[in-house]
Structures are given as structure tokens and as C-alpha cells.
Amino acid sequence: MSQLTNSAVFNFHGLDIIRRIKACLVGVFFLAAAPLNSYASESDWMQYGGHEGGGRYSALTQINKDNVHKLEVAWTFKTGHLDRVPEKLSFLKHLVGFQVTPIILPNDVGGHLVLCTPFNEVIAIDPETGKQRWFYNPKIDLTPFAGRFNCRGLAQWRDPDADPNQVCAHSLFLATSDKRLIALDATTGTPCPTFGKEGIVDVVPFIKSIEPTNQIRAMQLKSPPAVVNGVVVIGGTGNKFKDASSVNGAVRGFDAKTGKFLWAFDTLVRDEDTPGSLPYTVGGANVWTTMS
């Protein structure tokens, strides 16, 4: 029905849906959700799993089994990420995966349809016309990692303490293949100035804080973060996690406003007094997928 390759394709036909175009856009893709937060409605798909709970449920009935066959292409958007790969790195075109889930932003911050490319570029699209509104390129390290370049999506968060007109009162969070956590203003796509260093937190030092630290190069951040009570939570992935000698698979939390590192939860028990615990030379046990 729809496809995601180097282009994003959305399908509609003959329905009076202009006022609810966002709901139908995401409804075609993933059956839009009934979010759990106060700034969303049941017709929006605000997070990777629809809402913070990841339920992927929608109460919408406008598109159903009786009319789904009438959907036609309304517009097509080409992300162009492969076209931007330098010629000398053309081999990278075979090392990408495109598994992104677009999300919808509230109308008061633009109502954009937002997605990321395998190279962690972020694109905001007008959901009615398919025209690009803004583009952010984190210019990630294109040296091949253990796995494919991939970006499954972003997370959004509204700061309950911020003035609605303040920069980054509503933020987007992006975790990158080269192990950075980035915060963007949801309206404009510009980096949040008070988050980390000019909107970016280098996660590598915090990965190194827990043994084992070998094979860090193999680790990537591909899935969208989870935002819980003002804490941005990330996991990690890598082909080497099948090895006991891989880098640690800890889950980490960062302050959503400042990017300050708050905590790390080692997924392996390493207490010498606990039967069956593991030494610090054993890694893995990571959270590679999405969290809710």
C-alpha cells in the first residue's frame, strides 16, 4: 500500500480529509494512535509507537477495509539521502536500511510530518502538500560501523515548564549511528542551544564509563529515544552484541532540558556476592529496539 525506500510515498483517494490530513497520512502508514498526552488528539501519531505507551492503537474509522482499496497517491517525497553520498563513499549505498516511522507534530509547533533518513538527517514535511519545510543534517561519521546505517525515528517532548514561545519548548530528540544524542527545536529544526553543546551530547564517554569498553566502534544508536518524566532514555545496538566480549549494553538517561547525563543502568548483574553474576569482561545484553 505504501513503501519506504529512498522516497516516502503516501496514498489517498476521494475522501473529505483535508481537515484531518495528518490523521489519514499516518493512518495509511500505521493506523494512527490515541496518544496519552494532553497536547495530542486521537487522530495523531505522535511517537514511534503512536503514543508514549507504544500501543500502536487507533480509534479512527475513516479509513477501513471497505474503502482502503480506493486510496491513491496524493504526493511523493524523495528523501534524497543516497544522492548526497559522496562518490568516493558510493559503497555506503549498499549499507543502509530504511525503517523509519514518521511522526506528526502538534499544530502549534508547525504540524510537521517528521522523519529521519538512514544517515540521521531530519526532514520536516508539509503533510498536506508533501513539500519540505526544513532539513537538518548532523553530518555523521560515514566510516562504516558493524551494522547498517539506519534511523528508525525520533521522539518529541514538550517542556511543561517552558513558555510555549520559547526556543525548544517543544523538542525533537535524535540518536545517531555515531553515538550522539541531538535535540532540535520542533518548529524550526535548529539545535537546542541549552542542550549539551549546541544541541549535541557525545554519548561515547558515558559508554566508556562502564566496562567492558572494547568494540565501541561496533555500537550504534538506531532507535528513537524514549522520554520519561523529562529524562531522555537511550539503548544501543551493534552486530557484535552477540559476542560476550562486546561493549556493555547499558541503558542511559539524560536530562531532556540540558542534556546532562543522569544515570546508567547496567543490564547485567555484576555483584560478586550474587550467584550467577557476570564479570565486567562480559558485555552485551543491550536494548537495541524501541522503548516505551
Share of the chain above pLDDT 70, in %: 82
Alpha-carbon gap, residue 65 to 95, rounded angstroms: 37
3 state SS of 19: helix
85: closest CA among 7, 131, 147, 149? 149
The stretch 27-48 carries a mean pLDDT of: 51
| Residues recorded for the chain | 292
The stretch 195-207 carries a mean pLDDT of: 96
Phi, psi at 68, each rounded to 5°: -60, -30
Alpha-carbon gap, residue 36 to 52, rounded angstroms: 7
Q: How confident is the model at residue 208 (pLDDT cuts 50, 70, 90)?
A: confident
Q: What is the mean pLDDT of the chain?
A: 82
pTM of this prediction? 0.82
Give strand pairing partners of 183: 173
Q: How confident is the model at residue 290 (pLDDT cuts 50, 70, 90)?
A: confident
- Between 34 and 194, the more confident residue is 194
Q: How confident is the model at residue 13 (pLDDT cuts 50, 70, 90)?
A: very low
**Residue 141: what pLDDT?**
93
The stretch 230-247 carries a mean pLDDT of: 78
C-alpha cell at 180: 550522539
Q: Amino acid identity of 20?
A: R
- Decide if 234 contacts 248 (C-beta within 8 A): no
Over the stretch 59-88, which tens digit does the pLDDT of each residue have?
888 999 999 999 999 999 999 999 999 999
Alpha-carbon gap, residue 292 to 284, rounded angstroms: 21
Give the residue ranges of DSSP H helices in the chain. Answer: 21-30, 204-207
Residue 23 has pLDDT above 50, yes or no: no
Alpha-carbon gap, residue 143 to 178, rounded angstroms: 9
Question: What domains are there in the chain, each with its CATH number?
Answer: 83-265 (2.40.128.630)
User: Mean pLDDT: which of 4-18, 38-52, 109-123, 209-223 is highest?
Assistant: 109-123
User: Mean pLDDT: which of 13-27, 118-132, 246-260 is highest?
Assistant: 118-132
126 exposure class (CB count in 10 Å sphere: 0-12, 13-18, 19+): middle
- Decide if 130 contacts 182 (C-beta within 8 A): no
Over the stretch 264-277, which tens digit does the pLDDT of each residue have?
988 877 777 777 77
- Decide if 192 contacts 171 (C-beta within 8 A): yes
Query: Of the ranges 32-36, 84-88, 164-168, which one carries the lowest mean pLDDT score?
Result: 32-36
